[in-house]
Chains A and B, each alone.
Chain A
């Protein structure tokens, strides 16, 4: 029974063995962080408090998974927070003024998000436009459309139907539905990224677009699908955000795209594409979420939070860059059988 095992292509470059893998390191860093906080504030690490941290990070986790898919294909989606604002405003208006059945209203959010993501994806795929330019443009357009829809007004908690607001907080087995949705999305993302042709295509295209094209994977189409995935999850978060905070306004989630990208980068998703994992994105989100929740507890001014996230982003990018560089730099590529004459 010693059939030769085919070499497995690692998602993450397994340079230092499983013990020192990035996810393990990140998990250790997270535990260390919690340990340091626990030294002075033991109440922070009780089960209910940690459950609260997870629930607070749920939206970040969901959106980081969508962003991770896009980053894997060497693209970036800066429009995710604007997508949340627009879909959130749309479902809020539907719920407040038109009273569709709750199921339809909630389904409208991911559906609209998918459309917005597909628009980004089509521009990238069909017109070959750089993703950063496309999403920089749609970032302002989507948020502007949220203004057009609402006329700049706020939808406040008393205008929503009670069921619309209650869903994310309803507890199942002692855990809010919002957390369950995050768990379900993590499981779904693990399947999509690890077990479907589309997900494997994202890794292939990000690792080497030319090789992927030769292998029959259309890089443009793969990017399109990744943008659709990101848009779908952002749309879902549009509903979750509005329902959780019970308010919808144009500037909702403003600047959140940076948190999402930061979570991915902390989680080891490479901006250069092809490297990343579901576990990494989740751990990166939890790391950021823990810090955000812990700052007020350890008496650091909330105004320090932005500088701290910035420092963490830079440190994480620096670590990633070092890890990726250990491969060594190929100066002259070996003259392979390139007979494309």
Chain B
């Protein structure tokens, strides 16, 4: 059964063992999401209400928006662990600006600006100075949140104008929240950019082999810089939404979010080594995680038990296909 290939095909996404047996990762996620949805509907009579479903989107939309940007970073073979710190710093800046009497548009600009600046610093450290991404962003994670602690101590900022609340709490149409609508638009945009543009192909090429990409004439460093900048902007947007939704800023805001966001990206099938994965996978993974945590919440499961489930899903979704592939391979051999 040794198949002789004549030309070497570089696959668009590196297929896992299950992928080779014609089941796509996204299909698996879709089935998982449907199963969790069904389980939720059976477990709680309140789940299928349209407003309840709308509420359910709030707890993962902000994380999912960051995950869309982080997917590009991971796709390029890098990582950004500083998104939680970026949110804290951006939110603190917005809080200080609000205390000075800035209006809603200015606050949004401050949030996005600080987020973008944080991303730019990451990008300069990693793409220009050549620091390893994981260490650089562990450092900036402490730095950004540390600056937030330095500014606020154990205080809280909550002088937000009334109109600011709409961003995180408003609805554009019926039960469709502004946040969720934003996410849908950005997801479509991210999918188009990654799968249909030269830029997306370049990101994938860098993740597959950064050296080859450089020798092919791609501006590898500039693209890396842009990716970190975009992730910072996404974190800034998430900070605007989260701050607006909570109506207050503490330095511990979005603590540990980097873990959840990375989990969404990896669960979505983006290889942590870079080079393979899809945006639909990331979107589905966001739904899976959101539904699991919301469903467990409806069942009164404490948050820390949910984190066990998330951790187990992160490991399980990667380990099970490998194990299944081994079993399949062993069967084929016999």
Given A258-B142, A271-B134, A314-B125, also A138-B315 (CB < 8 A): yes
> B116 to chain A: closest CB distance in Å?
19
Quick check: B146 and A321 within 8 Å, CB to CB? no
Contacts of B307 in A (CB 8 A): 140, 143-144
Q: How far is the CA of A147 from the CA of B302 in the complex (A)?
A: 10
Cβ B142 vs Cβ A132 within 8 A: no
Q: Which residue of A lies closest to B152 (CB)?
A: A303
Contact residues in A for B141 (Cβ distance below 8 Å): 258, 310
Q: Is the Cβ of B144 less than 8 Å from the Cβ of A310?
A: yes
Instruction: Indicate if the CB atoms of A133 and B140 lie closer than 8 Å.
Output: no
A306 within 8 A of B: yes
Are A325 and B130 closer than 8 Å at their CB atoms? Answer: yes
* Total cross-chain contacts (CB, 8 A): 136
A134 vs B154: C-alpha distance in the bound complex, in angstroms? 34
Chain A, residue nearest B273 (CB): A130
Contact size range, B: 35 or more
| A interface footprint on B146-167 (CB within 8 Å = 1, 0 otherwise) | 1101101110000000000000
| A19 contacts partner chain B, Cβ-Cβ < 8 Å | no
| Closest CB in chain B relative to A308 CB, distance in Å | 7
- Interface: B56 (CB within 8 A): no
A20 at the interface (CB under 8 A from B): no
Binary flags per residue of A291-308, CB closer than 8 Å to B gives 1, else 0 = 000000000010111111
Set A123, A130, A307, A308: member contacting B272, Cβ < 8 A? A130
**What count of chain A residues pass the 8 Å CB interface test?**
44
Known: A130-B272, A144-B305, A304-B146. A313 touches B139 (CB 8 A): yes
A281 at the interface (CB under 8 A from B): no
Assuming the contacts A76-B134, A304-B150, asked whether A321 and B259 have C-beta atoms less than 8 A apart, the reply is: no
**A305 contacts which chain B residues (CB < 8 A)?**
146
Contact B136 A133 (CB under 8 A): no
Residue A139 interfacial (CB < 8 Å): yes
Check B135–A309 contact: CB distance below 8 A: no
In chain A between 304 and 324, which residues have their CB closer than 8 angstroms to a CB of chain B? Answer: 304-311, 313-314, 317-318, 321
Given A123-B315, A137-B311, A144 and B304 contact (CB-CB distance below 8 Å): yes
